[in-house]
Structure 1
Amino acid sequence: MPSIGGVREWIAQIQAAEREAPAVLAGNQHFLSIPWCRDIINDPNWIATTTPSRQAKSNKEDTFFAETLQTSQTIRNCLTLFRRPGVPTSHTTASSDPYLKGTDNNYPIQEVTLLLNLGSGVNGYADICHGGFVSTILDEIMGILITVNLQLKERIIGEAKQISAFTAYLNVTFKRPVPTPGPIMGRCWFERVEGRKTWIVSTVEDGAGGVFARAEGMFLEPKAQWKGRL
């Protein structure tokens, strides 16, 4: 069980992220013009944050999302929001959310939403998103869910970032074609954690509850990193 001071640290950092949210939104005004996106952004249970993989890095990490897919023809706009820890969702309850239970957990943020404004450069068929790109989004949002938790932890303990986990498998089910160009939404949440293994579910949706695709993935933490935490 974490100490009361530890819980207070988490809360303080969540509050700090909330204060930074307006600056994040200032660079993503496009989504405020779309009613269903605006509803999510204005929901007090969701907090806007930077999208880690959209930021260029000197070591060339994340170039696929930060450079290749950050153009007017691919992902034109991108906004990440995380659900405020402690707020039950359709996937977690007061009895299952580790933050609400007060248990020691590396992932206090249990769910993220990714708003994307797509161009026609991700097409397979005309005006239809390529299936490989859809799979990429499903995988990427899982990584974002892990990374926002890692960044929150870094703000508390001040440790340098390490590789948190790798995708071990990704099982994708395509339900409907994803239309382009235009906005879509990715959603992602933790299913369970067992040792080095973390199971995650993600979806690509239309903003009205319609699901285009769903993925179930498992992420594996490197052995050396895991041993260092024991």
Structure 2
Amino acid sequence: MESNFHRDFDLPWCKNLLRSDISIVEVPFQHPLRNDTPLNKGVSNTMFRQTLYTPDAIRAQINFKRPTTEADSIIPWEYCYLLSLGSGIDGKAGRAHGGFNALILDQMTGTVASMVSGSFAPATATMTVDYKAPIDTPGVVLCRSWAVERQGRKTWVKARIEDGRGNLLASAKSLFVDPRLERI
């Protein structure tokens, strides 16, 4: 995958991930300050647009899909974020707030649920988060997500936040429910 990377991704593990894996497909990143694209129509997402996409919080982001190696995945790919994080998300100095971890995991799993179901805005019904290790800030993390089950309007999705060595920092399993179709 060739792209103009943010300087925070100028780390050996990021370069290796992004340049050596030919199966990675970059997913266009919708500009956080634009709400007029077809993908963003009707979604405010001000938490990200106004609060998190700043030089002190989520400093840079690359979105991509790649083949999954997860045995429980019901689809052949996983969706990923590579995030450069600043100290504006800290709970304790030098560590991301646990609520930030949950927010990112919810965003990741919701994106995959939407892709799998074709629904524009599935709602989070439940999400279980397991915190394994602190996320150091400033720093770069890899977030991965994949679907594990689909029944009717329900989609179950898993996600992980990992460091550059593949160590698990936090994980989640979420259930999303598609909105009911309006009858005409």
TM-score range, shorter chain: 0.7 to 0.9
8 Å CA contact 2:155–2:176 kept in 1: the answer is yes
TM-score normalised by length of structure 1? 0.69
**Aligned counterpart in structure 1 of residue 14 of structure 2, from 32, 37, 40:** 37
How far apart, CA to CA, are the structure 2 residues paired with 1:55 and 1:47? 24
Instruction: Give the aligned residue type for 1:213.
Output: A
The alignment yields a C-alpha RMSD, in angstroms, of 2.6
User: Which structure carries more strand by proportion?
Assistant: 2
Structure 1 match to 2:45: 62
How far apart, CA to CA, are the structure 1 residues paired with 2:128 and 2:43? 28
Give the number of the structure whose alpha-carbon radius of gyration is greater: 1
**What SS class does the counterpart of residue 112 from structure 2 fall into?**
helix
Instruction: Give the aligned residue type for 2:108.
Output: I
Structure 2 residue 34 is the aligned partner of structure 1 residue 49? no
Change (3 A) 1:32 1:71: closer
1:115 deviates by 0.4
Sequence identity percentage: 30
5+ residue gaps, structure 1: 1-20, 100-109, 154-161
5+ residue gaps, structure 2: 37-41
TM-score normalised by length of structure 2? 0.84
How far apart, CA to CA, are the structure 1 residues paired with 2:103 and 2:122? 16
How far apart, CA to CA, are the structure 2 residues paired with 1:80 and 1:41? 11
How far apart, CA to CA, are the structure 2 residues paired with 1:201 and 1:55? 28
1:148 deviates by 5.1
How far apart, CA to CA, are the structure 2 residues paired with 1:126 and 1:53? 29
**Aligned residue pairs, count:** 178
